[in-house]
A and B are shown apart, each in its own frame.
Chain A
Amino acid sequence: MSYSVPRAVVEAFYEAHGSRNAERIAAYVDDDVEWSVYGPVEVMQVCGLWRGKAAVIDRWARAIPKVIESSRFERERFLIDGDQSAVFGRVTSKHRPSGRIISHRCAHFITWRADKVMTFRVLNDSLDAAEQFIGRRIDLSADAQEAASDTVAL
């Protein structure tokens, strides 16, 4: 591997990402980007797969503002290695439809090419996040009893 993304580029990308401004984010996105946010899209409409720069711009310009009013990301881990970077942290957002504050852990894994994001993958603590999106706990009590009886002693 010969290309290494400069730390300054990754930092600048995250400044743009934090701004939630589609044009600023677009400046760091490759034309052929693949942008994946894992999680239940029927509950968390920030999740899904967007292919290509135009789709990512549309995500930030149109889709996200309908669901999220504001957000901030607190980084706890930040790694860069050649053409990859990874962060771990907590995202705190205001859910526009309900006004609720939503806060959950998440991780980003990015592959870079020529200082642009080629793949962006987001892993959320998606059950915790989904419960906050819907505004109530998902009742797992019956499943918990079954899980306890399913556990095999070793």
Chain B
Amino acid sequence: MDKKVAVLSAEPQPCARSKSHADLRAAFDVFFEAYAARDAERVAPFLHDDVVWTVSGPIEVLPFCGVHRGKADVLALIGRKVPAVLRVFSCVAEAIVVDGDQVAMLTRLSARRPADGRVISYRVANFFRFVEGKIIENLSLLDSFDAVEQVVGHPLTQPTLAEDGSLVPAISDLVSL
């Protein structure tokens, strides 16, 4: 699918609402629509051949975490690896910040686990960098504790019973506020 993608200035233009800012915002909105739908075919025109896509989080439980290099790997991530674990059905942007050749985005993502149909929802921050109008880098930051607790389906920290029968938090060195 051929999409028009803005050619961007390499120099950030903070606080100046330039044409390149408007172009990038418009292009990003088209990208976001495709990305929110996890439509790899529509995402493809926005990816640089040498894109590096990094997702923070524990790879043993969330196998789509880690560093993914190159357009083919990232498309496989979006089209196959993530849907094998989570079927995203909602991706709501809470903030989109465009500056120079970069876009930052905060979203709340909702997905269904194909294994059991359970719905999970957590926040993700993305920091994209564009070159020649295409994404060359993405840094994804998950609220990973929240995401993992929901994926595994149980709390990650458990209180224990003290000798007097009272509940003691698992974490002994916390300060109450």
Contact = CB atoms under 8 A, between A and B. Distances in A.
A103 interface: no
Interface residues of B, number: 55
A44 to B, nearest CB: 8
Contacts of A125: 56-57, 141-142, 144
A151 B116 CA distance: 11
B171 A81 contact: no
Contacts, number: 173
Q: Is the interface of B mostly helix, strand, loop or mixed?
A: mixed
Interface residues on A, range: 35 or more
B3 interface: no
A126 B104 CA distance: 19
B52 interface: no
B173 A152 contact: no
Interface of A: 4-7, 38-40, 42-43, 45, 62-63, 66-67, 76-82, 84-86, 88, 96-98, 105-107, 109, 111, 121, 123-130, 133-135, 138, 140-141, 143-144, 146-148, 150-154
5 contacts: A81-B99, A84-B95, A126-B145, A134-B170, A143-B61
